[in-house]
Amino acid sequence: MNRFLQALLWLVMVGVAAGCSQLPIRDPLRISLVGIEPLPGQGLELRMAMKLRVQNPNDTPVDFDGVALEVDLRGLSFASGVSDQVGSVPRYSEMVISVPVSVSAISVLRQGLSFANGGRSSITYAIRGKVGGSMLGASTFKANGQLDLPTSLLGPAAP
């Protein structure tokens, strides 16, 4: 019986290894923030449409079914959103998708206090999320950046 279990285990391992070798090896999607548009909100909630450029550096199309997104400003959680958008990014191509996000009044207040107490010449941001759909599950992504604010927006320096 022990020899039978060893042979069965060996066959299962060979089958899994053979199956994995047949899976396509893909480069990850490249996703970056390219725009923000206002949306109607409710009550104290702000709504925005985050425009994401999705680039496919692979020689096969990548299908997606749903997007989730989180946005941090100055290291603090700021906004989140989801979209049930379905599509396909053609091989060696790109497309822009829109994800609606919500910003709570508490997040706006927290950002305002951080801005008032910290350096005011730039704002760092981080976006992270996932694009769902492929047979292997979701593809996650992260992007960081910094927005330098014009000095004319900052007003006079405090004494």
CATH T-level topology, domain 26-149: Immunoglobulin-like (2.60.40)
* DSSP for residue 43: T
pTM (whole model) above 0.85: no
Q: What is the mean pLDDT of residues 127-154?
A: 74
pLDDT per residue over 25-83, tens digit each?
A: 678 888 888 888 999 988 888 999 999 999 999 898 888 889 999 999 888 889 999 99
Rounded percentage of the chain residues whose pLDDT exceeds 70: 75
CB atoms within 10 A of CB 105: 12
- Does residue 104 surpass a pLDDT of 80? yes
Report the chain's mean pLDDT, rounded to a whole number.
Answer: 80
All residues at 6 or more sequence positions from 41 whose CB lies less than 8 Å from its CB, including other chains: 47, 102
Rounded percentage of the chain residues whose pLDDT exceeds 90: 25
Name the pairing type of β-strands 62-73 and 76-89.
antiparallel
- Does residue 118 surpass a pLDDT of 50? yes
- Does residue 136 surpass a pLDDT of 70? no
- Measuring CA to CA, which residue among 39, 29, 27 is closest to residue 64? 29
pLDDT per residue over 11-36, tens digit each?
A: 777 666 655 544 556 788 888 888 88
The reported pLDDT for the residue numbered 44 is 82
Say which residue, 47 or 106, is predicted with more confidence.
Answer: 47
Find the helix or strand (DSSP H, E) in which 61 lies.
none
Residue-range domain boundaries for the chain:
26-149
